[in-house]
């Protein structure tokens, strides 16, 4: 991943103004989730699944909105990398999903993953944001920083 960092940074920097323009004035959480998923999968060639697992209560995540192949429909907080993110409320960077006993294989081609918690303006966990790649070690702290910044939009919604 280190050799890709300058290109990845440029891709995020090009994406940020587009996201601001697209989301200006939008207050619907699902519309924002849909737009972010669409724009990120279009902007980043190495992302093959981008989407949200919404916190529906009772320690349960439900898929959607997302872009890519089918996702697992439901994930409990005690399962998988998404569940770990929901439980710890911390970014999960996974360089090799095959080395993770907790990984839930929704797509057999996934090699690496990043999952970020998504909070509303009250600080409540409303979702986790999951991005998968067919490339090993495809995510870094650079991705975590940019994506966390992008997800701050949910803290501004009513």
> Strand ranges (DSSP E) for the chain?
49-57, 60-68, 74-76, 92-94, 112-119, 125-133
134 band by pLDDT with thresholds 50, 70 and 90: very high
* Residues in CB range of 47: below 8 A, 6 or more apart: 40, 41, 131, 132, 133
DSSP 70: -
pLDDT of residue 2: 53
pLDDT of residue 94: 96
DSSP 11: H
Task: Look at residue 126 and tell me whether its pLDDT is greater than 60.
Answer: yes
Task: Look at residue 88 and tell me whether its pLDDT is greater than 70.
Answer: yes
The whole domain housing 66 covers: 2-156
pLDDT of residue 26: 97
Task: Look at residue 107 and tell me whether its pLDDT is greater than 80.
Answer: no
Write down the pTM of the prediction. Answer: 0.95
What's the chain's average pLDDT? 95
Residue 47 belongs to a domain with what CATH number?
3.30.450.40
For the segment 99-113, the average pLDDT, to the nearest whole number, is 85
pLDDT in tens, 2-48: 567 899 999 999 999 999 999 999 999 999 999 999 999 999 999 99
For the segment 126-135, the average pLDDT, to the nearest whole number, is 97
Q: What's the structural domain count of the chain?
A: 1
């Amino acid at each position: 991943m280190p050799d890709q960092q300058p290109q990845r940074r440029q891709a995020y920097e090009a994406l940020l103004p587009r996201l601001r323009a697209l989301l200006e004035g939008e207050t619907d959480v699902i519309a924002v989730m849909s737009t972010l998923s669409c724009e990120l999968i279009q902007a980043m060639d190495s992302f093959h699944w981008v989407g949200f697992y919404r916190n529906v209560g009772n320690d349960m995540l439900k898929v959607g909105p997302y872009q890519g192949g089918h996702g697992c429909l439901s994930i409990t907080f005690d399962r998988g990398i998404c569940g770990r993110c929901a439980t710890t409320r911390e970014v999960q960077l996974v360089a090799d999903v095959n080395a993770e006993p907790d990984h839930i294989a929704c797509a057999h081609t996934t090699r690496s993953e990043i999952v970020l918690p998504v909070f509303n303006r009250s600080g409540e966990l409303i979702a986790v944001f999951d991005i998968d790649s067919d490339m090993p070690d495809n995510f870094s702290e650079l991705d975590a920083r940019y994506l966390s910044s992008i997800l701050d939009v949910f803290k501004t919604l009513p």
